Amino acid sequence: MAIVGTVSDSGAHPAYGVPRPVLPFATVLLEDNPNAMTLDGTNTWLLRAPGAAGCVVVDPGEEDLPHLERVLAAAGPVEAILITHHHPDHVAGAPWLAERAGAPVRAFDPALCVDAPPLADGEVLAMAGLDLEVLHTPGHTADSICLAIDHGGRSAVLTGDTVLGRGTTVIAPPDGALGPYLDSLRLLAGRPPGSAVLPGHGPDLPDLAGVARQYLTHREQRLNQIRTALSQLGPDATARQVVEVVYADVDESLWPAAEWSVRAQLDYLRTT
Ligand SMILES: [Zn+2]
């Protein structure tokens, strides 16, 4: 359990239904939607500089009205709703929240935006007393972004599903891809030391660069396992055949997700 803030006196992750301050400018509301893909549930982040009137809501979560009512109550006036990527556990509640809060929705994918233009890589959003830097980090999905914040001597990056609070991220079909994901991890590994990870799922972590380097090492180990399997099975082996070798000691219920991952790795190895 890694709590990076000095103001986290309202409990630790997971804290359902209770706004949990993590940094002076970032509070999380954990949606009660745990499952195999969301870990403990979706983290909805509320960003606001100390003393600022307005709030930015990042990833409202599913269309879960008790959760969205709690988000509204904790947020106060909402300047904007930002989306890290198009998966429904992050974005499905956005239209409802936008209407109730009278706030625009911004995402990298124009189709998700409401009354506002799409986010652009490198754009800096001056909102809620903060400067939010948009980093396009494709890989988990093509439209994944992170948001970097430096304020009051503290820095943090909201990572969506690009980096999670525990475990590793899936390269999700149809638009996830390993090559861009490795590039995104290298970008995040280059962030200054001590930048907190504020993830889409799981607990917050103290050092993004360190976690990104661990992810890169893990991916390289997995690629080496696939290369070894292909040397046994032949270069045209299917994803399923590779799973049966590489994941032989893993419960078969996890093989479908493993097959996504292996397919992404085979695509990568066969095109680079
Ligand atoms: Zn996702």
Is 97 domain-assigned? Answer: yes
Q: Which helix (H) or strand (E) is 21 found in, with range?
A: strand 20-23
Q: Residue 175's domain is classified under what CATH number?
A: 3.60.15.10
Please give the distance, rounded to the nearest whole angstrom, from the Cα atom of residue 175 to the centre of ligand 1: 11
Please give the distance, rounded to the nearest whole angstrom, from the Cα atom of residue 235 to the centre of ligand 1: 30
Please give the distance, rounded to the nearest whole angstrom, from the Cα atom of residue 122 to the centre of ligand 1: 21
Q: Strand 196-199's sheet: what is its strand order?
A: 124-127, 130-136, 145-151, 154-160, 196-199
Q: Are 149 and 127 in contact (CB under 8 A)?
A: no
What is the pLDDT, as a whole number, of residue 109? 98
Please give the distance, rounded to the nearest whole angstrom, from the Cα atom of residue 85 to the centre of ligand 1: 7
Is 238 domain-assigned? Answer: no
Is 165 domain-assigned? Answer: yes
Q: Are 47 and 132 in contact (CB under 8 A)?
A: yes
- Structural domain including 38 reads 3-208
C-alpha–C-alpha distance, residues 94 and 77, integer Å: 15
Q: How many domains does the chain have?
A: 1
Is 116 domain-assigned? Answer: yes
Q: In degrees rounded to 5, what are phi and psi of residue 92?
A: -60, -30
Please give the distance, rounded to the nearest whole angstrom, from the Cα atom of residue 231 to the centre of ligand 1: 32
3-class SS at 95? helix
What is the pLDDT, as a whole number, of residue 7? 40
Is 16 domain-assigned? Answer: yes
User: Residue-wise pLDDT tens for the chain (272 aa)?
Assistant: 334 443 444 568 888 989 999 999 999 999 999 987 888 999 999 999 999 999 999 999 999 999 999 999 999 999 999 999 999 999 999 999 999 999 999 999 999 999 999 999 999 999 999 999 999 999 999 999 999 999 999 999 999 999 999 988 888 878 999 999 999 999 999 999 899 999 999 999 999 999 999 999 999 999 999 999 999 999 999 999 999 999 999 899 889 888 988 999 999 999 88
Is 68 domain-assigned? Answer: yes
Q: Burial code of 93-127, b = ≥16 C-beta within 10 A, e = fewer?
A: bbeebbeebebbbbbbbeebbeebebbeeeeebeb
What is the pLDDT, as a whole number, of residue 6? 39
Please give the distance, rounded to the nearest whole angstrom, from the Cα atom of residue 9 to the centre of ligand 1: 29
- What does pTM read for this prediction? 0.92
Q: What is the dihedral of CA 1, 107, 155, 216, to 10 degrees?
A: 60
Is 249 domain-assigned? Answer: no
Q: Are 212 and 189 in contact (CB under 8 A)?
A: yes
C-alpha–C-alpha distance, residues 203 and 13, integer Å: 6
What is the pLDDT, as a whole number, of residue 11? 67
What is the pLDDT, as a whole number, of residue 210? 96
Is 35 domain-assigned? Answer: yes
Please give the distance, rounded to the nearest whole angstrom, from the Cα atom of residue 74 to the centre of ligand 1: 24
